[in-house]
């Protein structure tokens, strides 16, 4: 395996990411069978017990493929986490105990909370408990939590650490949207993994995988392969999260039926937006409502993701191969509606919650951030000059899972030419103010994400943003460039600044992350 893999890497650098699956092709075929029921995470209702809930960061084993149980990480379970339900206006206390042999941390991605109760600068050493108090002060949204310990975020997330946090404020009932948890309101966590023949995760940290972000050839939904959901016939709400390290999913139903987007990252759209296809990038959330009242089974499909995979080094044959791959869609999830029973027939609401028009005039300044893969500087590593093979630095010695394929030291990425430095403040903003941030991507599309703030997207690639992306967001896929109006909602300190970064976790780790200080203006 190492020999073949190495020659693929060196022989056709730009193709390697796409061809990686080939190395495990035979196994991947069987891993793709799947077809079990869609796993529905346990619901932890923090609205019921005074707002306290426990999370345990732990190792475990999960049955995902036929070969064997896979070693995984999870929050209070073997993989992923419970869905935690909280209400706006509540104060909750999370008691997070780290039972891993290494340091971790928990970032509340999408919660408006100060930096001193959020992950990046609040590491939880092995064996310790961290109990932040979180005041929930924002409208209904689907948010999530995941590890953020610098240097180990990507591996810990790959091993399975990710959970959903539902913020409720009564508006879903007001709009009469499906809200029966696990029945017609389904959590859908999208990820991709590589499995070895022994059923264990393989984490690709070869230079090419780092350059484009690490992908897998097996798609998981809530930790299962091609699962089947059996909601009652009628309207069904899917809460989509792209929880992959790097992969974008371009989703559509096999019969091309129209669905409606009702919410994006931080809340409702002004009205349901009809679409046939939607692209979701790492860190993003979309809530869609699909009409299954005809009772017919339908597959949710994804197109392959080629972000960053087209390079100048491609031969004509490689280009042809990729073009053909492009047309092949894969089944992500199957929906097999059952009888509607005596459930009342519901229609889509005409209006949701209008986030209003972003007011450009109120922005106090303009900044520009270029997300740079530093391709030229990293070229020697890409050509195989860096540390290759299975040694390399890999995961911390105390915790060896998963098997790391290829590790490379010395690759760097940055923003405005600067690699992440936790001791440096890259921007100072006034708490409560808004600024226009221009985000520029070079070489490939990067999902921009910011902590402690939300934004409205003004333009993407010079064009006005699409209706389903026009709501309040915290993550956006930037291909070429985007203009955002950022609202700084929460305070941070010099010791514990907020961060903004590319949500391709390998890019973040290689330094595509900056810090900002958000304080009341004097
Ligand atoms: Cu979801 Cu800083 O990340
Ligand atoms: Cu975040
Ligand atoms: Cu990136």
pLDDT tens string 235-256 = 999 999 999 999 999 999 999 9
Render pLDDT for 482-496 as a digit per residue (tens, 0 to 9). Answer: 999 999 999 999 999
Q: CA-CA distance, 473 to 453, in Å (whole number)?
A: 9
More confident residue, 3 or 236: 236
Render pLDDT for 279-330 as a digit per residue (tens, 0 to 9). Answer: 999 999 999 999 999 999 999 999 988 787 654 455 566 666 666 666 689 9
Predicted local confidence at residue 383, as pLDDT = 67
What's the average model confidence in pLDDT over 488-511? 97
Predicted local confidence at residue 139, as pLDDT = 96
Predicted local confidence at residue 499, as pLDDT = 98
Q: CA-CA distance, 509 to 485, in Å (whole number)?
A: 26
Q: Tell me the CA–centroid distance for residue 108 and ligand 1, in Å.
A: 8
Residue 384 CB coordination number (10 Å) = 16
Q: CA-CA distance, 4 to 10, in Å (whole number)?
A: 10
Q: Which ligand 1 atom sits nearest the alpha carbon of residue 283?
A: 1
Q: Which ligand 1 atom sits nearest the alpha carbon of residue 146?
A: 1
Pairing status of strand 185-195 against strand 218-221:
antiparallel
Predicted local confidence at residue 306, as pLDDT = 79
What's the average model confidence in pLDDT over 351-374? 93
Predicted local confidence at residue 30, as pLDDT = 56
Pairing status of strand 403-405 against strand 201-204:
parallel
Predicted local confidence at residue 392, as pLDDT = 36
Which candidate, 446, 447, 362, 375, places its Cα nearest to that of 411? Answer: 375
Q: CA-CA distance, 39 to 41, in Å (whole number)?
A: 6
Band of pLDDT at residue 2, cut at 50, 70 and 90: very low
Residue 361 CB coordination number (10 Å) = 4
- Contact, 103 vs 123, CB < 8 A? yes
Q: What is the DSSP letter of 343?
A: P
Per DSSP, the three-state class of 104 is strand
Which candidate, 374, 448, 438, 437, places its Cα nearest to that of 411? Answer: 374
Q: Tell me the CA–centroid distance for residue 18 and ligand 1, in Å.
A: 26
Q: CA-CA distance, 361 to 132, in Å (whole number)?
A: 37
Band of pLDDT at residue 377, cut at 50, 70 and 90: confident
Q: Tell me the CA–centroid distance for residue 480 and ligand 2, in Å.
A: 22
What's the average model confidence in pLDDT over 502-509? 97
Render pLDDT for 127-158 as a digit per residue (tens, 0 to 9). Answer: 999 999 999 999 999 999 999 998 999 999 99
Band of pLDDT at residue 67, cut at 50, 70 and 90: confident
46: left (phi over 0), alpha (psi -120 to 50) or beta: alpha
* Cβ partners under 8 Å of residue 280, min gap 6: 190, 240, 242, 248, 249, 251, 286
Predicted local confidence at residue 312, as pLDDT = 43
Residue 27: pLDDT over 60: no
- Rounded to the nearest integer, the mean pLDDT of the chain is 88
Structure tokens at 196: 């070895």
Q: What is the DSSP letter of 223?
A: T
Render pLDDT for 165-190 as a digit per residue (tens, 0 to 9). Answer: 999 999 999 999 999 999 999 999 99
Neighbours of ion ligand 2 (CB under 5 A): 109, 451
What's the average model confidence in pLDDT over 430-435? 98
Which candidate, 521, 522, 515, places its Cα nearest to that of 494? Answer: 515
DSSP tally for the chain: helices H, then strands E? 9, 35
Helix (H) or strand (E) holding 516: strand 513-519
Which candidate, 308, 283, 286, places its Cα nearest to that of 450? Answer: 283
Q: Tell me the CA–centroid distance for residue 122 and ligand 2, in Å.
A: 14
- Contact, 438 vs 393, CB < 8 A? no
Residue 10: pLDDT over 60: no
Question: Any residues with Cβ below 6 Å from ligand 1, and which?
Answer: 107, 109, 146, 148, 283, 449, 451, 499, 501, 503
- Contact, 439 vs 481, CB < 8 A? yes
Ligand 1, atom 1: closest residue by C-alpha: 109
More confident residue, 374 or 38: 38
Which candidate, 102, 106, 48, 103, places its Cα nearest to that of 76? Answer: 106
Predicted local confidence at residue 115, as pLDDT = 98
Residue 179, Cβ density class (10 Å: 0-12 exposed, 13-18 middle, ≥19 buried): middle
Written in H, E and C, the secondary structure of 164-212 is EEEEECCHHHHCCCCCCECCCEEEEEEEEEEECCCCCEEEECCHHHHHH
Q: Which ligand 1 atom sits nearest the alpha carbon of residue 282?
A: 1
Predicted local confidence at residue 309, as pLDDT = 60
Q: Tell me the CA–centroid distance for residue 290 and ligand 1, in Å.
A: 28
The share of the chain scoring above pLDDT 70, in percent, equals: 85
């Amino acid at each position: 395996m190492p020999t073949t893999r190495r020659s693929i890497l060196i022989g056709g650098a730009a193709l390697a990411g796409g061809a990686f699956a080939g190395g495990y092709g035979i196994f991947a075929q069987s891993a793709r069978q799947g077809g079990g029921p869609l796993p529905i995470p346990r619901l932890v209702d923090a609205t019921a017990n005074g707002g306290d809930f426990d999370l345990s960061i732990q190792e475990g084993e999960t049955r995902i493929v036929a070969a064997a149980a896979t070693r995984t990480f999870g929050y209070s379970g073997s993989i992923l986490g419970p869905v935690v339900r909280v209400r706006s206006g509540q104060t909750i206390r999370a008691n997070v105990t780290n039972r891993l042999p290494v340091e971790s941390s928990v970032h509340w991605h999408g919660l408006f909370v100060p930096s001193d109760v959020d992950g990046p600068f609040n590491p939880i050493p092995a064996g310790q408990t961290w109990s932040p108090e979180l005041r929930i002060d924002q409208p209904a949204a689907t948010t999530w939590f995941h590890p953020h310990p610098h240097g180990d975020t990507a591996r810990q997330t790959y091993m399975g650490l990710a959970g959903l946090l539902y913020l409720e404020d009564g508006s879903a009932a007001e709009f009469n949207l499906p809200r029966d948890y696990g029945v017609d309101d389904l959590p859908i966590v999208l990820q991709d993994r590589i499995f070895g023949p022994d059923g264990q995760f393989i984490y690709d940290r070869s230079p090419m995988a780092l350059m484009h972000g690490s992908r897998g050839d097996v798609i998981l939904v809530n930790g299962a392969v091609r699962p089947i959901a059996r909601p009652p016939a009628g309207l069904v709400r899917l809460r989509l999260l792209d929880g992959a390290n790097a992969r974008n999913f371009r989703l559509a139903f096999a019969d091309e039926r129209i669905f409606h987007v009702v919410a994006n990252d931080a809340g409702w759209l002004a009205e349901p937006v009809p679409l046939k296809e939607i692209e979701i990038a790492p860190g993003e959330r979309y809530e869609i409502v699909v009409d299954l009242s005809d009772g017919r089974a339908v597959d949710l499909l994804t197109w392959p993701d080629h972000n960053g995979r087209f390079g100048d080094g491609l031969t004509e044959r490689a280009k042809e191969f990729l073009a053909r791959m492009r047309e092949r869609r894969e089944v992500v999830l199957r929906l097999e509606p059952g009888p509607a029973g005596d459930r009342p027939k519901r229609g889509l609401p005409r209006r949701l919650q209008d986030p209003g028009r972003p007011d450009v005039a109120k922005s106090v300044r303009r900044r520009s951030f270029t997300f740079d893969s530093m391709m030229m500087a990293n070229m020697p590593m890409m050509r195989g000059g860096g540390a290759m093979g299975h040694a390399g630095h890999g995961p911390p010695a105390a915790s060896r899972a998963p098997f790391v394929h290829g590790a490379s030291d010395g690759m760097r990425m940055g923003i405005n030419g600067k690699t992440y430095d936790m001791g440096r403040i890259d921007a100072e903003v006034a708490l409560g103010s808004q600024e226009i941030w221009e985000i520029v991507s070079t070489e490939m599309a990067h999902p921009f994400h910011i902590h402690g703030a939300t934004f409205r997207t003004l333009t993407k690639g010079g064009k006005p943003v699409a209706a389903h992306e026009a709501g309040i967001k915290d993550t956006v896929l930037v291909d070429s460039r985007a203009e955002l109006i950022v609202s700084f909602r929460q305070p941070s300190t010099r010791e514990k600044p907020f961060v903004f970064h590319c949500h391709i976790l390998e890019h973040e780790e290689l330094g595509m992350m900056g810090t900002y200080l958000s304080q009341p203006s004097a």
